[in-house]
Amino acid sequence: MYFPDLSTYSYEMSNEIPKALNIGWLSEEHPFLTGDVPSGIKAKIRHLCLRYRSPLQHRGYHWCEFCPRQETELRGMKYPTPLEDGVKLGSALVVVPIPKNEEVFVCPESLSL
């Protein structure tokens, strides 16, 4: 699912998250910047995704189109394989508050993979 960065969040429950902006909703069909990132940035993104994980859980998982598909089967259903610490990502939003201007960034939690 794609939304342009910094566009108004409108996917789900948008009325309950005022001043929400999309960030990190990438798609293979839409170009985006790539390149080297500072060391430690992936760990910081993962920390934000775990700290600000939203209670807005979906009924199922979104499979990242960029990641190799690793799945676990349980009772006939396929789920993303949990990370080393047992966390399963791909079924919720991350809502990160930006106190300076009272906005929030909303991204898929799988951004931290």
Q: Is the pLDDT of residue 55 over 80?
A: no
Comparing 3-7, 17-21, 59-63, 103-107, the range with the smallest average pLDDT is 59-63
Structure-token pair, residue 1: 């699912």
Structure-token pair, residue 72: 């676990």
Q: What is the pLDDT of residue 78?
A: 61
- Give the N- to C-terminal CA distance of the chain in Å, as an integer: 16
* pTM for this predicted structure: 0.72
Q: Is the pLDDT of residue 111 over 70?
A: no
State the average pLDDT over residues 62-82. 64
Among the listed residues 78, 97, 96, 98, the one whose alpha carbon sits nearest the alpha carbon of residue 88:
78
Q: What is the pLDDT of residue 89?
A: 67
Choice between 22 and 101, residue whose per-residue pLDDT is larger: 22
State the average pLDDT over residues 30-34. 89
Structure-token pair, residue 7: 């566009």
Query: Where does the pLDDT of residue 13 fall: very low under 50, low under 70, confident under 90, or very high at 90 and above?
Result: low
